[in-house]
Amino acid sequence: MNLLRIIKHPAFEWTLLLGIPAILYLTGWHTETIGGLQRMILATGIIKADTEQNQTDSSPDADYNVNLQTLDGKDISLKELKGKVIFMNIWATWCPPCIAEMPGIQKLYEQVKSEDIAFVMISVDENPTKAQKFIKRKEYTFPVYQLTSKAIPQMYASESIPVTFVISASGKLVLKHSGMADYNSDAFRDFLRSQVSK
C-alpha cells in the first residue's frame, strides 16, 4: 500500500521524469541513447540518401587536397585514392545522428569494399583516442581518419554533421548529403558501384 502511494505521488513522477535524463547525461549515454532512437527512424526507410540529386553531366570536379591521418598516426592524402570511388563521411562520437547511421555504413562497407571503392570516415573529435575507443567498442572495421589541419576544401564544408560525399572514379563529386541517412540499401549500393565506371 505504501509503495503504491509513493509511485502515485507527483514527486516520484518528477524524479523519474528528470532523473532518467540526468543519469543518461551524466554517464555519457545520452548520445548513444539518442543515436539508438534515431537508428530506429532510419530502420523505417524514411530517410535515404538522394542519389538522383547530383546525377548530371555538370557534377563538379572533386578537390583531392585533403590531408588525413589514420587513428594510429599514418599520414595519407585523398590524392592517393584518385581513380577510386570514394565514400567520405564526416562524423563525431558526440553526434547522435552520426552514431545512428554508423551500423548501416558498416554493413555497406562490408558489402561493397573493394579495390575500386574506398571508404574515408573522417572523425572530427578533438581527441582521436575517443574515436578510436568508440570504433573498437562498436567493432566497426571501416577505415577512420582525422584531418591533419582544420582547413578543408570549401566543397566539403558543412555547417552540420554528419555529412557524406561520394566522389566518382573519374573525380567528380556526385553526391553530397547533409544529415543522417540509411546508406545500406540496394539502390545506394548500385549507385556506388555504378560510379566505378564513370
Spacing of C-alpha 116 from chain mean position: 21
Please give the model's pTM, rounded to 2 decimal places: 0.77
Rounded CA gap, 1 and 3, in Å?
5
> By the 8 A CB rule, do 31 and 93 touch?
yes
pLDDT value at 101 more than 60:
yes
Here the cell at position 174 is 556526385
Cis peptide before 162 (omega within 30 of 0): yes
Percent of the chain residues topping a pLDDT of 90: 57
Q: How many domains does the chain have?
A: 1
Give tens-digit pLDDT for 2-16.
Answer: 655 555 656 656 565
**Nearby residues of 128 by Cβ (< 8 Å), 6 or more positions away:** 69, 71, 146
Rounded CA gap, 12 and 134, in Å?
35
Give tens-digit pLDDT for 27-75.
Answer: 665 566 555 655 566 566 665 665 555 454 578 999 999 999 999 899 9
Q: Where in the sequence is the domain holding 154, given as residue range(s)?
A: 1-198
Domain of 130, CATH number, reads: 3.40.30.10
Scanning 93-182, the segments in alpha helix (DSSP H) are 96-112, 128-138
